[in-house]
Amino acid sequence: MKTKKLLAAGLTAAMVVGAVPVSTQAASDAHLNFGCYVYSTSFDPAHYQNAAWQGMRWGITECLFKFNDDASVAPWLCDTYEVSDDHKTWTFHIRDGVLFSNGDPCDAQAVADSLNRLFTVCEGADYSSTPNQYIDMASIEADTDANTVTIVTNVAYADLTGPLCFPFYSIIDVDGDTTDAEHAGGYSTSIIATGPYVLDSFDELSKSGELVANENYWDGEVPYGSITMTFIEDDSTKAMALQSGDIDLTENVTTISDLQNLSADDSYYVSMKDGVRAGFAYVNFNGILANDSLRQAVFMAIDGQTLCDVTVGGMYSYGPGVLPSSLAYADENLDNPYAYNKEAAIALLDEAGIVDSDGNGIRELDGEDVVLNFVTYKNRCLDIFAEAIMTQLAEVGIGVNVNSTDSDTNWMMMQAGQYDLLNQNWTTVGTGDPTAFLLNWYGKGGENFYSEENAEASNYCHYDNEEFDKLYEQFTQSLDTEERNDLVVQMEQILINDCAVLVHGYYNSTMISNASKVTGADIPAFDYYWLSTAIKPAE
């Protein structure tokens, strides 16, 4: 077995490998008002993905590991681990002395019970989380004497610590007292975990809740005795609530004028960071954009740099690759043969015979006007990108109908293939690497993670490139970090060469606080984490 010791720079003394946690009371009766988007009325990581994220974003749940901003892994509830030579047996030592918020020990048995419960209940119809998507689990067993949990997987993983950062695998007390009797075995709003805050109450109608300090928290002082989490859907409303004093903290104001006004006012601290999200549009290869000349011309007619810098006010950073430039995948080696060039786009369309023969301002292909169905939704400026792209494409004679929906409808239309372009914003390295993200363009669709009869469950754009598939399979099987990084760059270049995905840019997340009331409110690169003990009352 290879022993791995994890020690991340900048961690508090209590997180040093081998340190014994110390329980603490909240430092004061300080109260925080946090206005945010609420994605779920559940906090159970087994219920569905948004519930898993929400528990962690609210500072309630924790995993065995967590991500640093550079996508490296830091210890959390695990402090050391060992891995077998075949990378299928992983033994994790659980940090000594950690308690759940109800005082029960978060030891090896509790961790194994939590993870086993996750994989067991997610096989049922009442739960939609997919933990097998990231970990092909064979067994999970606890050694109570050694305080270790051994996970055996069916396939080799280059690094299992990255997937174990994902909120699905949050550790909850499955044996503790709950008040949520309606959910047999479920913990919708009575979840017990190890984070600095505890869910005291939640109103499903208003999607707002009250948190209190975890009096048994293991990692130092809990800054706030109580926190009100208020659901605010509209970005401008978030900004106004902050300016009126109704809230002290908010996340991801994406209305450009509001963000600019707050940034210019010293009363507010605006934290903006290159994250690990990419904004992009799926290209449906089972439609009009299967025509190579048309698709290439569309890409050349779009001025992505101006869209990022001006149209969305710097809320995105432009780049042609599907992965953010902040990640260590040597994106400087990428070449974009279809960079913005409006004149070249016009010439290519003319040469391909895609011309406006009836003088109505829209070119025709096979006797039909070229009018693209662009499906989008109002999230992280995606609707703004769609409207601006419609204007840019009109300049070369390509029509666009922008269909702005809600996120659920957007997802259903994506699955049904009812689009030519369809906007999304994804975390690209949700488990520490882009395996799940790049699956979007794997020609065999998702048979690695889904049943064979649903082999196209992930490839909703019908893209098929044999070379990309071969590289993707090699990437999923490789245990060598340098080789894996090189394969990612090769796959990105193929997607660029094929105009397989229209990348808008890389999303810059924001967190904004009242500077006189709050300190330490810096947005993390991974938006699994919103509330942390770094956010404190200003002195």
Q: Are 92 and 152 in contact (CB under 8 A)?
A: no
* Tens digits of residue pLDDT in 278-326: 999 999 999 999 999 999 999 999 999 999 999 998 899 999 899 998 8
pTM score of the predicted model? 0.85
Cα 478 → chain centroid: 24
Q: Are 524 and 274 in contact (CB under 8 A)?
A: no
Of the candidates 105, 80, 92, 95, which has an alpha carbon nearest to the alpha carbon of residue 21?
95
In whole angstroms, give the CA distance from residue 268 to residue 234: 19
Q: What residue ranges define each of the domains in the chain, with the CATH number in brackets?
A: 2-231 (3.40.190.10), 274-508 (3.10.105.10)
In whole angstroms, give the CA distance from residue 440 to residue 131: 18
* pLDDT at residue 407 in the model: 82
Q: Compute CA distances 476 → 168, 460, 490, whole Å.
A: 21, 20, 14
The sign of the dihedral angle between the CA atoms of 535, 214, 128, 70 is positive
* Tens digits of residue pLDDT in 316-374: 999 989 999 888 786 778 999 999 999 999 999 999 999 999 999 999 999 999 999 99
The span from the first CA to the last CA of the chain, in angstroms, equals 49
Percent helix, strand, coil in the chain (nearest 5)? 25, 25, 50
* pLDDT at residue 478 in the model: 93
Q: Compute CA distances 108 → 95, 141, 215, 522, whole Å.
A: 9, 9, 21, 32
Rg (CA), the chain: 24
In whole angstroms, give the CA distance from residue 255 to residue 34: 18
Q: Compute CA distances 60 → 28, 111, 195, 400, 425, whole Å.
A: 19, 16, 4, 44, 25
Determine the longest span between alpha carbons in the chain, in angstroms. Answer: 81
* pLDDT at residue 128 in the model: 82
Structure token digits, residue 443: 């020609």
* pLDDT at residue 222 in the model: 97
Per-residue pLDDT of the chain (539 residues; tens, 9 = 90+): 555 544 333 333 233 333 344 444 445 689 999 999 998 889 999 988 889 999 999 999 999 999 999 889 999 999 999 999 999 999 999 999 999 999 999 999 999 999 999 999 988 777 888 899 899 999 999 999 999 999 999 999 999 999 999 999 999 999 854 433 333 445 677 899 999 999 999 999 999 999 999 999 999 999 999 999 999 988 899 999 999 999 999 999 988 899 999 999 999 999 998 889 999 999 999 999 999 999 999 999 999 999 999 999 889 999 989 999 888 786 778 999 999 999 999 999 999 999 999 999 999 999 999 999 999 998 889 999 999 999 999 999 999 999 999 888 888 899 899 999 999 999 999 899 999 899 999 987 543 333 333 334 468 899 999 999 999 999 999 999 899 999 999 999 999 999 999 999 999 999 999 999 999 999 999 989 999 999 999 98
Q: Which residue has the tokens 């940034």?
A: 263
* pLDDT at residue 184 in the model: 41
Collapsing DSSP to helix, strand or coil, 374 comes out as strand
Concatenating the DSSP letter of every residue in 160-213 gives STTGGGSGGG----SSS--S-TTSTT--SS----SSSEEEEEEETTTTEEEEEE
